Amino acid sequence: MNKLTLNVYAYWTRSTINYFFDFNKRSVTTIAMEGMRSLEKPKVIFVLGGPGAGKGTQCSKIVERFKFEHLSAGDLLRAERAREGSEYGALIDEYIRNGKIVPVEVTCSLLENAMKKSSNNRFLVDGFPRNQDNLDGWNRQMSDKVDFQFVLFFDCPEDVCVARCLTRGQSGSGRLDDNIESLKKRIETYNNDSMPIIKYFEEMGKVEKIDAKYNADDIFTKVEKIFYKSGFQ
């Protein structure tokens, strides 16, 4: 056997050994972890608060810091409304303009599909559940499939909410409902239909409430503390 053949042989032997070691290392640690993670139910946090309370703004910060996936029920509905051929486009349009809450079958399916598509197992469900129909539908379709954590509630005075939404509308949000007529209806829906849901979770000791009238960075400092306390890194 000449020197070149010997080197090729040695190289091949080393590569083969390395391959099996790497494979075995992956199989005991990574594959087991991947397997365990896929068996775990996804963790879900509901993010609630009035229109313009800052839910979306804080969710973006949480995504960056804690690697959650942000599922805004409102954004999912707006995307479905805009989807060509959607059978729910006109219905969603009518509900959003009037600050009414879309039937849960539509919203819950959009949320479930988005969760199925994701490889993440931590979700911020933003702007849902907003009324008893939402909560009942979620309990029927989703509650067994997820590991619900708590409600993150951004408590914000009405006048601050209205001012923020109007500014958002004037700075080109393109939203049909960031105008004073729709806002009056959204606030009414929030007080009549969404507040009782927040109270229900509060009675279960499942609400983390944050005063949301301050600036976004100060609010996030409080949000961070809640997430650390709840075991998220």
Ligand X SMILES: O=c1ccn([C@@H]2O[C@H](COP(=O)(O)OP(=O)(O)O)[C@@H](O)[C@H]2O)c(=O)[nH]1
Binding residues for a ribonucleoside 5'-phosphate: 78, 100-102, 127-130, 175, 186
User: In what helix (H) or strand (E) does residue 22 lie, and over which residues does it extend?
Assistant: helix 3-25
Work out the angle at residue 50's Cα, subtended by the Cα atoms of residues 218 and 65, and round it to the nearest 5 degrees: 40
If we measure between CA atoms, which residue out of 177, 149, 174, 172 comes closest to residue 161? 177
The pattern of x and - marking residues 170 through 199 that bind ligand X according to CB under 6 A reads -------x--------x-------------
As a whole number of angstroms, the distance between CA 103 and CA 86 comes to 15
Cβ at position 82, least distance to ligand ADP in Å:
18
Helix, strand or coil for residue 47? strand
The pattern of x and - marking residues 37 through 76 that bind ligand ADP according to CB under 6 A reads ------------x-xxxxxxx-------------------
The residue among 197 and 219 lying less far from ligand ADP, judged by its C-beta, is 219
Distance of CA 37 to the CA centre of its chain: 19
Return binding residues for ATP: 52-57, 168, 214
Site for ligand X in 78-107 (CB under 6 A): 95-96, 99-102, 107
As a whole number of angstroms, the distance between CA 79 and CA 82 comes to 5
Task: State the residues that interact with ligand X by CB under 6 A.
Answer: 51-52, 55, 72-74, 77, 95-96, 99-102, 107, 127-128, 130, 134, 177, 186
